[in-house]
Amino acid sequence: MPEVIFTGPAGRIEGRYQPPKTRTTPVAIVLHPHPQFGGTMNNPLTYQMFYMFQRHGFGVLRFNFRGVGRSQGEFDHGQGELSDAAAALDWLQSINPDSRACWIAGISFGAWIGMQLLMRRPEIEGFISVAPPANLYDFSFLAPCPSSGLIIHGDQDKVVPQKDVQALVDKLKTQKGITIDHQIMPGANHFFSDHGEELIESCDSYLTRRLAMIEAELAED
């Protein structure tokens, strides 16, 4: 798992990168939780999500947002972090020019950033949003949401009430041409304490299903 350094809008960005199994294998980026509340690319859920994509053969990158670890710059309340994520995707695509698709996954604050990036990058074919903070940030930019994906959160989340995530899901589900898979994990809090393995299993199962569907569609073309 090579350590990588690439250039972002605020300077150096520190990441970890796993090359894909083949030239055309999809790539993915994984975005960590809020930098001002201890979120880093080594957050356990971010780390496990990274390896989940690796097991599926993806070229996968996780990185520290500006001001975290060895990444330069300062916290920018989301705008700069979105630019960091765009730069990370640019870098990942530049070294995997033949990759046929791209995915994005984010945890909490990272889910908010990831879904904004989704709106700007039509090549993203799937997303996984864990505990999206629908009560803390504006998600109205998802109009319409361009890709199908998974939204998953815990029913014991005290940071983001279930009703707020449900409202976001209900809004997205009215859109044609995409499918939002919504899962609620019993007993899990915002950080999925003691439910990390269960979370990754659910995400892995979803990714397996989606990849099989995509392969079937490609075979028909």
pLDDT in tens, 19-57: 999 999 999 999 999 999 999 999 999 999 999 999 999
Total-model pTM: 0.97
Looking only at the bridges linking them, the beta strands covering 3-8 and 59-63 are unpaired
pLDDT in tens, 166-218: 999 999 988 888 999 999 999 999 999 999 999 999 999 999 999 999 888 87
Going along the chain from its start, the domains and CATH numbers come out as 3-220 (3.40.50.1820)
Q: Residue 104's pLDDT band (boundaries 50, 70, 90)?
A: very high
The CB density around residue 198, as the number of other CB atoms within 10 Å, is 15
Closest CA to 154 of 124, 194, 186: 186
The mean predicted confidence, pLDDT, of the chain is: 96
Rounded to an integer, the average pLDDT of 100-105 is 96
